[in-house]
Copies of this chain bind each other. A is one copy, B any other.
Amino acid sequence: MGLTRTEIFTKEQNELAILLKAMAHPARVAILQHIIASKTCICGDLVDELGLAQATISQHLKELKNAGLIQGTIEGVSVCYCINPENWEKLKNQLNLFLGGYVASASCC
């Protein structure tokens, strides 16, 4: 086999898994942190910042964009990326619901 059986899970479970997967790589965590830290669009300083090839970073950016976590606009010869505010908020809410659903009680195991 080798392919996730998405059809047996709920839409919510699949969507959350997709968002988590988009962030589940140290390079993509680093990219997001860099975008957040710079507090504005970043235009092409990622290749110098991280130690990965340009093609690799472009690929990671594409995945983040596909997941809707970031957005980019062409700015002359370069492309500027920033967080997608709506989706970031949605993700925060979904994760808060998911993670906050657990309330530590008397340990059972």
Contacts and interface: CB of A to CB of B under 8 A. Distances in A.
B52 A5 contact: yes
A109 B71 contact: yes
Interface string A5-23: 1101110011011001101
Copies in the complex: 2
Contact of A8 (B21, B51, B105, B107): B51
A52 to B, nearest CB: 7
Interface string A32-73: 110011011100000000111000000000000000000111
Range, interface on chain A: 35 or more
Nearest to A92: B99
B81 A109 contact: yes
15 contacts: A5-B51, A9-B27, A10-B30, A17-B23, A20-B23, A20-B24, A20-B29, A33-B98, A39-B105, A41-B109, A81-B109, A82-B107, A88-B104, A89-B104, A91-B99
